[in-house]
Amino acid sequence: TRVRSSAASDVYKRQEDAMPVIFHEETKQFHLFNREVSYIIRIMENGQMENLYYGKALRDREDFSRFHEELERSQMSVCVPEPGLLSMHYTRQEYPVYGTGDYKTPALCIRQEDGSRITDFVYKSYEIRKGKPSLAPLPATYTEDEEEADTLEITLHDERIDTDLVLSYTIYRDYPVITRNTRFLQKGPQTIVLEKAMSACVEFLDMKFEMVQLSGAWARERYVKTRPLEMGIQSVYGLDGTCSGAEHNPFMALKRPEAGEDNGEVYGFSFVYSGNFLIQTEVSTFDMTRVMVGIHPESFSWTLREGESFQTPETVMVYSDQGLNKMSQVYHRLYRKRLMRGVWRDQARPILLNNWEATYFDFNEEKILKIARKAKEAGVELFVLDDGWFGARNDDYRGLGDWYANLEKLPEGISGLSRKIEDMGLKFGLWVELEMVNKDSDLYRQHPDWLIGAPGRFESHARHQHVLDFSRKEVVDHIYEMIAKIIRESSISYIKWDMNRYMTEPCSLTAEPARQGETMHRYMLGVYDLYTRLTTEFPEILFESCASGGARFDPGMLYFAPQTWTSDDTDANERTKIQYGTSYIYPIVSMGSHVSAVPNHQVFRKTPIETRANIAYFGTFGYELDLNLLSDQEMEEVKRQVAFMKKYRELIQIDGDFYRIQSPFEGNETAWQVVSQDKKESIAMFYQKMNKVNASWLRLKLKGLKEDALYQVSLEGAPQKDYKAYGDELMYAGIPVDRTELNRRGGDFASLLYVLKEIEK
């Protein structure tokens, strides 16, 4: 722990020095900054914290107080003795409260023993340390070297209730990233109840922003939605209890109206949590914009007695002055390198085949082995057995919770099947849904009280299943022992962890009445605990998160499972939108993407097998069909696809930067691209939805290349059309898109894949 010098610093110094957190004693101002971003806060006259600036990096200086402005206004409540004019309603606060002159939405609410909710947290102390403290058991970004980041902790104290409030800020050296979280510590004898405890609040002086969110539903997750801010409240949220949800992702960006993919200011807000959340903007009638991120206060409360504490999840804020694509690339790098963990963090992913759409519940060992043998012939590396292998699971009405093999389907169990698959030269993976139970199951018959549900109330069902009460340790312990036994006895390299319904009647049958508001957060802590135990005991296993498709695609899950099933909708055309929107924040390597059969099982559309692969390449890549049903020609195409992915997956998944070029939300065409870190290699995908007759010319303008480098441009499947071009030509004039090639490849839903390699001088 140390306090940095308050001497002025230049943000353009050498990179290793451009990472300070500075406290200026005289002016009582903190400045967090690196090469790209500055965040400036001060201690106000009333002891609370004010935000003076957040944006592009500024040179440090002793005093930024000119950014604080005061003006006497009608109906203004002043919170300092006369002749002061400090009013919380017109001040950009770091952690606002309601009831002392600020009439906007607060970041916290504490119910005290006398019924009051009025608090007064004033500055007490600060600490600056190297590195980044863990938030375990909560997931969070991390550092491997203490020089990677600095952390500032500001402790505020409410004397009347003897409670500490700690505001934590971490700034990374190599990223325009500031992370925020909040911690409460009850030190006095009074019992208090947190009714609202947000992780972060940021205020802007103006409202000249457009709000970008990722919203949708099952099979159309994370569609890009953009709208201008207006006075009042706009928000995205999740209230389903068990996951971040398919409806709204725990992410929001504020961009200037003129900002695009490659230009302009953008502020990103991402919440590292998998349960109920709220990301809210509130614009005052004085055009000031307040952003708050945290656990949704609806149905939430947390009791703190003397000596107890509460830690909020982490908010990751990214600043970009180069548009949305730069924001996305920062999130991609940070989350891939400093959120994901374990042996799979830096590895390209195995090419898999999943049997779900090939068989659904209708399979036996012979059928599974036949599908696996064909997958091995195609070059696939991992076979995944999906739902239907356990208990009496012949449909989705029964069996959930009974985590032992169905010996009628698999006479030698998972242990025997996994070893037979491995004897073929394939790795073996398994599907589970550990948080759920069917009432027609041995587990429910033995423990009917283990369900989430309110006494005397109807228990809503979804997909014929119910939610286990993971807020109870004994439930988590039981499930852990059942599934760990299967894993210990078998040879398992991959687990797909599904979760197919939201929470209803959120009540725990064993919780104190005063603590029922803790149930949904404690449930999520139980999920994180089970993930922690399994990933600790079985560190070599690749976990993939899933929630009825992509309903739990959030940073909290990436901390435990470095990839997520992006959507149950595997149609290539639909996936352009789903994967495009997901790329706003999540790395390409985290997106589960498969080639499935046609007609597609979700939309019944037929698309070329080449297009299905060209879009699935930009993810983990795999197959979800029975290869035995393909023609010889299609099988040869699959072998070519597998070989292509093996050749380029390091570039696509690990080394490359991802660029969005043309949006499926704005026109008939979609285009995106990956470029290697050294800019010597690139792969670009162009896709058209509907073919056009007598159409106009098309140009595909690439991004991220070296202007003066000469590249070999190869169109996959048409080697006769290879040519050479410099980077500036490819980016500013573009590649002429060959409509005859699109016609030859089917016209509707046709795609082209370009591979670029720098020609050494």
- Between the alpha carbon of residue 239 and those of residues 274, 298, 590, the distances in Å are 11, 8, 24
3-state SS string for 625-675: CCHHHCCHHHHHHHHHHHHHHHHHHHHHHHHCEEEEEECCCCCCEEEEEEE
Residue from 60, 402, 568, 657 carrying the catalytic annotation: 568
Cα–Cα dist 37/178, whole Å: 9
Contacts of 520 (CB under 8 A, 6+ apart): 241, 275, 276, 299, 300, 471, 503, 506
Cα–Cα dist 212/231, whole Å: 16
Which residue, 255, 269, 264, 261, is CA-closest to 211?
255
How many C-beta atoms lie closer than 10 Å to residue 691's C-beta?
A: 15
Can 655 be counted among the known catalytic residues?
no
Cα–Cα dist 607/598, whole Å: 7
Contacts of 14 (CB under 8 A, 6+ apart): none
| Residue 730 phi, psi (nearest 5) | -70, -30
Residue 101, CA atoms < 13 Å, CB-side half-sphere:
18
Which neighbouring-strand residues pair with 503? none
Cα–Cα dist 532/260, whole Å: 39
Is residue 575 within 8 A of residue 590, CB to CB? The reply is: no
Cα–Cα dist 576/669, whole Å: 10
- Return the structure tokens found at 268: 């990103």
Cα–Cα dist 142/749, whole Å: 42
Which neighbouring-strand residues pair with 167? 154, 182
Residue 546, CA atoms < 13 Å, CB-side half-sphere:
24
Cα–Cα dist 37/286, whole Å: 26
Can 362 be counted among the known catalytic residues?
no
- Return the structure tokens found at 329: 């690339």
Contacts of 661 (CB under 8 A, 6+ apart): 671, 672, 673, 684, 700, 701, 702, 703
| Residue 615 phi, psi (nearest 5) | -80, -40
Cα–Cα dist 132/142, whole Å: 6
Which residue, 262, 505, 320, 500, is CA-closest to 396?
500
Which neighbouring-strand residues pair with 157? 122, 164
How many C-beta atoms lie closer than 10 Å to residue 537's C-beta?
A: 12
Residue from 150, 387, 440, 498 carrying the catalytic annotation: 498
Cα–Cα dist 167/128, whole Å: 12
Active-site residue set? 498, 568
